Each structure stands twice: as C-alpha cells, then as structure tokens.
Amino acid sequence: MPARRTFLDAGGRSPVTPRTAQALAAGLVDGWADPARLTTESRQARTILDSARGAIAEVLAVPQDNVYFAHSVPMACERIVRGMYAARRGRDRMVMSAIEREALTDVAEFIAPGAVDRIDVDGSGHLDVAAFAHALSDPRVAIAAVQHANREIGTIQRLDRIYDVANAAGVPLIVDATASIGHVDAPEHWDALIADPSDWGAPAGLAIVAVRPQTRWLEAWPAGDDPWAPGGVSVPVALAAAVALQERVENMERESQRQFDLVTRLRAGFAQLEGVHVVGDEVERLPHLLTAAFLYLDGEPLVTRLDREGFAVGSGSACGKAQFQPSQVLAAMGALTHGNLRIGLHPGITDGEIERFLATMPRVIEVVRQSMTS
Amino acid sequence: MPARRTFLDAGGRSPVTPRTAQALAAGLVDGWADPARLTTESRQARTILDSARGAIAEVLAVPQDNVYFAHSVPMACERIVRGMYAARRGRDRMVMSAIEREALTDVAEFIAPGAVDRIDVDGSGHLDVAAFAHALSDPRVAIAAVQHANREIGTIQRLDRIYDVANAAGVPLIVDATASIGHVDAPEHWDALIADPSDWGAPAGLAIVAVRPQTRWLEAWPAGDDPWAPGGVSVPVALAAAVALQERVENMERESQRQFDLVTRLRAGFAQLEGVHVVGDEVERLPHLLTAAFLYLDGEPLVTRLDREGFAVGSGSACGKAQFQPSQVLAAMGALTHGNLRIGLHPGITDGEIERFLATMPRVIEVVRQSMTS
C-alpha cells in the first residue's frame, strides 16, 4: 500500500477519529455489562446507552423516547417498513422514489412482493412531486418513503413539499436520512426517520430509527424483547456513535462549506475530462458527495487502478452488495453510463489531496482506456 | 459504589479483559472500512473479519465456511429457526426441551404460534430422552432444539444420545451453546449451533451461528445481503470476539477446574443456609454457574441488597427481559421456589471473593427476611 492513502470512499463509512475511538474504549470500560439487569454495573451501562440516545435525539430535534437503536441500516429499514405497513391494515401498497437505497426497497419488496410503486425523479434527481401526489391519491397506499438526500449523487429532496403531499393524503412518510445526518441539518418533515452512524464516522454495527409519537407501528417481534434491536445493541458502539455525531455537529458549519467547495472543485475538474459527466443537483446537494458517469469506461478497473495509486473511491450502486452492477440511481435519472465513480469526502481530507487526485485522473483514465481496448 | 466490586453475574455477559479491549481498539484502527467494497481499506477489513471467523470456527471444530455472524442471540435464534423451519415444508411442528432459553422459544412461538412442543426435564435438568424420542416420532416434526447446557442451572445435556434420537428420526437438531462455549469443549452433536461471544467476554453486539454443510435452510431475507446479519456486523467487535475466545480456550483447562471447584464450594456453602437449595446436576454441569432457589425470599431484594454490599448477582430468568418473573427453568424442574439467585463466575474471580461472598450471605438473608416481614 502506498505510504500515504487518500480515502475518498466516505459515503456510508468514514475513518474513525481519535475522539470517537476513545469513546468506544471508554464505553467498553464502563458499559460492558448488560443494560437490562439491575446491578450497579448494569445501571451504569444503561445510563451510558440512554445518554447516547439522548445526544443523538438532540441532533435529530426529537424527544429521546422517540429514538431507537437498530442493528444495521437494512435491519432498521425492515423493522420500520414491517411495523408501519402492518399498522395500516386494509391498505396494501407502498410508494417510494425511484432512487431510494436498495436496503429499503429490497425489504419493502420482500415484505410485500409486487406492492411497491416507484416514482420517477428528474435529471437532477428530484422527485416528481406531482406524480408522487397522484400515486398517493390511491386509497390502497399504506406508507410512502422518500430519502432526505441521495447517497450516490448527493441531491437533497424538497421534503417540505413532499411531506405536505403525504400528510394531505394521510399517508405516513418514512424518510431515509442515512446519507445526510452529520453533514447537513437533520430534516424536519417525516413520520419515521432512519439514520446511519457509520456514515458520520462511528464504528459500524448500529442504525438509528426515529418515530413521531403519532406514527402508528406494530411490534413485529415477540413481546418482552426490544422490537427494534432484538437482544439489544453494543453500548460502547452506541456511545461512540453519539460522540462521533457530536464531533460532526460541532464542526458542521465550517466543515460542510469546506467540503462543498472541494466537491465544487472536483465537479469542475471532472467536467473537463472527456466522456465524463457529473450527476445530480449542483446546488441542492450534500456537501461531501459526487458521482461521475463515464461514457466509455467500466467502474471496476477505474476503482482498482485508483486504489493502486493510493486513492480509495467507490463505484456501482453504493450499497456494497453489488459493487459493479449498473447504478439503479443513475439508470432512474436517465444518465447514459458505462461505468461510474463515486466520491465521498470526510473531515480529514485536505485541499492538497483533492488537487493531487484531480491531477492523477487523466493519466488513470488513459491507462484504463488502453487496458480496455488492448 | 463500594471501593471493590465483585462481579458474580457473569452468565451471558462478562467483564472484558485488557487483551480483548486491545483487540477491539486494533480492529477499529485497521477494520473500520466496509468489508464489502473493493479498496485496500475494505480488503483489510474483510481480512480481519475472515480471520475472526476462522479463529471461532477452529474452536467450534467446523470449517470456516459453516460459521456465520448474527447481530445478537435473539436474532441468531430467529434466523436459524425461520430458515430451517421453512426448509422443511410440509412439516409444521417444533420440539424443544422445557428449559430452552426464552430467546429461542419466543421466536419459535412467534414464527409458528401453537406449534412448539416442550419436552420435560428431570429434577437435575436432564432432558427426558424417551419422551423426546416419542415426540420426534410424529412425522409432522420439522425441527428440534436442545441446549448444550443451561445458562441458569448449568446442567449439561447428554447431546450424543439426544442427537442419535434426532438423527434416527430424520429431524435436524439446533443446539443452543450460548452458555457453554469458552467454558467447556464445544459440543460435537448438532446440525445447527448458536453461540454467544458476550458470554465468553467479548463486547456485546454479535452472535455466532454454525450450520453443518448438509443442514438445509432457506434464506429469509432479500437476495444479495447477508441473510444472517443483514447489513453486516461490526468488524472490531468480531475481532474482539475471536481474541476473547482464544484467551478463554488457552486457559480453559486450568480455569474451568478452578471455577468448578469454586462453585462446588459455593454449593456447599449454600446448602448450609436454611430454606435454600441449589438446583441442577452436581457433576454434569458448567464450571461457572450456580442457581439457588429460596423458599421464603424474593429475588429482587436479595439482588439489590447484595449489590449494595458490593456483589453483583442475577435473579429471575437470566434473560434480562423479565428480571423478576419466576424462572421458567426452575418451574420446569419442579423446584419449589419463591425467589432465586443466579451466580456466574468469570476468570477474574478469586477464592477470597467467594469466601467473602459466602460470609456475607447469612447477614444479607437475615436483613432481607426482616424487611419482608416488617
């Protein structure tokens, strides 16, 4: 591995800061016991877990009691979709944007095969709100889901209008905020929300679900256990998640502007490359994400070659499970693409690294192009 | 909290050793990335995850490919029961011992309400093998589950005979080894096995499932994701789990004998207390566990009073979720009981602490008795 690595694949997973690593270690010292028992050690673990929950709830601007831990993002998606869908008995369809993450749409299709309607987005990735409203006029619709921002292209949805539509139709709205929390202000317009601590620099192994007090859901687990995270979650990981979020929020204003500018610089640099175009809204977007579509190049050799040069980037659908499948997001946006390259910045990234990356790209593209034609 | 605490509630959760804490920290430094992606950082995380799996597989004496991670013991139980039950289409009943852990029986009842038959145990906690064989002669039986050892009373089942019966009936056997791995040799006789890293001193947030190559199960999750732990598990926690197990196994022979002797000492001490009797097999038992049934005292004040004296002990059903419900295990064994007290030793416990605990008990019992009658 080259002496100096530049990690540009920080969407969904980010390097862990020393302060967060310290929180994990401290959480293990004081929070190893089972928070469900009644001894001093257990009470201590429970206190840590509750304060972690409280700190995260504060950032989401909801009461602590409305925040739950889950074991992972797919589990959070499954728990919330199953619970809310079951609570709307008599209604059997779901409506989701065409660019929701697969973790969400896959479990929705699994829970209710053939019952999920997808709503188009425009060329910048914005939901067609009129089509969404039309879909929700069907009285069979039980729940709807629209992401806060897309984890590949970064486009931020206009949730205020979308929520008004859902609310007017009496359909509860699930908002996937797994790409946005810790990067921009938490969304306000939702009935249930999903967040991903490992996206904001926490160790993996945890997800967050927030549910408004008036949102109805049915427990889909035997009584007595935690229906969101059966068997409980790791207390040290929960503490680390809260500390990592706090760190992000403290620096958010400055850091978001800095990363937004770096991505603007990257977008400009990519625009000058032949056969490459950058996807998503230029302005209404997350500060740290960029996806570029390559007309004539595959994603895999690009990622591999860049990795050898010391740059970690992503490709494919950003979900990890089908690395080099064509991106459903790009397909839904009508982006003509052969391969794509996904960049996610984290607070440790410097201007110099971005310049070095941009300077490397033309040569890497040339090498990959030659290897593909030879 | 008293200056010196004695933790005697180490069943299911144990203090984390410095070596395990170090492994968690090291796993975070090198294994924070998403193991499902293709960059150098991700390959490194994948390597750590695979070696952790390999190390655990070695202790279970199975090929690495037959070992899976799950998010928690209840999740592991749900995944394995659902998957194996679904694979036996046309058969719709399950047979389990009367003293299986609730995490297992609750999900079984949830998956197939009214379809779970429970088989009695004798006064020492041993399964009635003849009744088990009779139950399995019903051709509707899809799966059976018998624990390796009980996590409250410590009794070790005679799995060789039990497995012969299941095998002869053509019914796959799930063995819950969540109380025994790391304390005694892993069981050999099973078709699927569940283990609990936090029981052997790992941080919580992980469970282990092992499945024999010939055991049939159906994926109960959308294709493409990990059906055992959707969204994946924490790589640092997995590494810590492997290291903690290694540490236990290295010292197992000496440490098991030492703890067995300490529990023998505790059993003798408890036998001298009025209205108290120790439950479970005296010899065929886990080295570190003991449950005592109290004829005239409640569990809660005993636990609370001992906690104030610096001793953490357990009570109730050992599952945390219903602390002071009467223990189903004791009820199934026909033990007349008002309250009970559960002890679990860990490697840090000294002879002196056990003597001090035994010396404290008569006074604590007297105080609790007076508070109950006053």
The DSSP code sequence of A341-373 is EEEE--TT--HHHHHHHHHHHHHHHHHHHHHHH
Contacts of B234 in chain A (CB under 8 A): 203-205, 234, 237
The DSSP code sequence of A280-319 is S-SSSB-SSEEEEEESS--HHHHHHHHHHTTEE-B-TTSS
Phi, psi of A183 (to 5 degrees): -110, -40
- CA-based nearest distance A212→chain B, Å: 25
pLDDT at residue B232, rounded to an integer: 96
Q: Cβ of B312 and A40 within 8 Å?
A: yes
Which chain A residue has the Cα nearest residue B224? A321
Q: Which residues contact A108 (CB under 8 A, 6 or more apart)?
A: A77, A81, A94, A96, A115, A116, A145
List the CATH code of the domain at B6-15+251-373: 3.90.1150.10
Which chain B residue has the Cα nearest residue A304? B39
Within chain A, which residue ranges are assigned CATH 3.90.1150.10? 6-15+252-373
Q: What's the sign of the alpha-carbon dihedral B234, B236, B242, B248?
A: negative
CA–CA dist B314, A38 (Å, integer):
8
Whose CA is closest to B10, among B357, B318, B324, B331?
Answer: B318
Interface of B with A in 235-264 (CB under 8 A): 235-237
Q: What's the sign of the alpha-carbon dihedral B45, B49, B50, B55?
A: positive
CA–CA dist A113, B331 (Å, integer):
44
B3 has a chain A CB within 8 A of its CB: no
pLDDT at residue B333, rounded to an integer: 83
Cα atoms in the Cβ-side hemisphere of radius 13 Å centred on A120? 8
Contact present, A6 and A361 (Cβ < 8 Å): no
CA–CA dist A289, A249 (Å, integer):
18
Which chain B residue has the Cα nearest residue A105? B222
Within chain B, which residue ranges are assigned CATH 3.90.1150.10? 6-15+251-373
Within chain A, which residue ranges are assigned CATH 3.40.640.10? 18-249
Helices A129-136 and A159-169: crossing angle in degrees, nearest 10, is: 20
User: Residues B12-21: what's their mean pLDDT?
Assistant: 96
CA–CA dist A72, A339 (Å, integer):
28
B86 has a chain A CB within 8 A of its CB: no
Tokens for A178, please give them: 């797994």
Superfamily of domain A6-15+252-373: Aspartate Aminotransferase, domain 1 (3.90.1150.10)
Q: Which residues pair with residue B278 across a beta bridge?
A: B292
Q: Cβ of B75 and A231 within 8 Å?
A: yes
Tokens for B76, please give them: 């592991």
3-state SS of B275-318 is CEEEECCCCCECCCEEEEEECCCCHHHHHHHHHHCCEECECCCC
How many Cβ atoms sit within 10 Å of the Cβ of residue A262? 21
Q: Cβ of A32 and B203 within 8 Å?
A: yes
The beta-carbon neighbor of B39 closest among A33, A232, A312 is: A312
* Statement: residue B124 has pLDDT above 60: yes
A1 has a chain B CB within 8 A of its CB: yes
Burial of A351 (0-12, 13-18, 19+ CB in 10 A): exposed
Give the angle subtended at the CA of B63 by the CAs of B60 and B68, to the nearest 5°: 75
Which chain A residue has the Cα nearest residue B108? A222
Rg (CA), chain A: 21
Instruction: Say which DSSP state A197 is in.
Output: G
- In which residue are the tokens 């490992």 written? A198
CA–CA dist A208, A54 (Å, integer):
12
Burial B127-154 (b: 16+ CB within 10 A, else e): bebebbbebbeeeebbbbbbbbbbbbbb
Instruction: Say which DSSP state A155 is in.
Output: B
pLDDT at residue A296, rounded to an integer: 85
User: Residues B215-244: what's their mean pLDDT?
Assistant: 96
pLDDT at residue B3, rounded to an integer: 57
pLDDT at residue A318, rounded to an integer: 52
Q: Which residues pair with residue A144 across a beta bridge?
A: A95, A173
Q: Which helix (H) or strand (E) holds B372?
A: helix B351-373
Which residue out of A6, A19, A72, A305 would a mutagenesis test of the B interface target, given it has the greatest number of B Cβ atoms within 10 Å?
A72
pLDDT at residue B336, rounded to an integer: 65
pLDDT tens digits for chain A (374 residues)? 455 899 999 999 999 999 999 999 999 999 999 999 989 999 999 999 999 999 999 999 999 999 999 999 999 999 999 999 999 989 999 999 999 999 999 999 999 999 999 999 999 999 999 999 999 999 999 999 999 999 999 999 999 999 999 999 999 999 999 999 999 999 999 999 999 999 999 999 999 999 999 999 999 999 999 999 999 999 999 999 999 999 999 999 999 999 999 999 999 999 999 989 899 999 999 999 999 999 888 888 999 999 999 999 998 765 444 455 667 888 888 776 678 899 999 999 999 999 999 999 999 999 999 988 77
B19 has a chain A CB within 8 A of its CB: no
Distance of CA A251 to the CA centre of its chain: 20
Residue ranges in chain A assigned as alpha helix (H)? 18-31, 40-60, 73-86, 102-111, 129-136, 159-169, 235-250, 252-271, 299-308, 328-332, 351-373
pLDDT at residue A289, rounded to an integer: 98
pLDDT at residue A1, rounded to an integer: 46
Q: Cβ of B321 and A224 within 8 Å?
A: yes
Distance of CA B7 to the CA centre of its chain: 18
The class level of CATH for A18-249 reads alpha beta
CA–CA dist B293, B281 (Å, integer):
14
pLDDT digits (tens, 9 = 90+) for B269-324: 999 999 898 999 999 999 999 999 998 888 889 999 999 999 999 987 654 444 55
Q: Cβ of A106 and B307 within 8 Å?
A: no
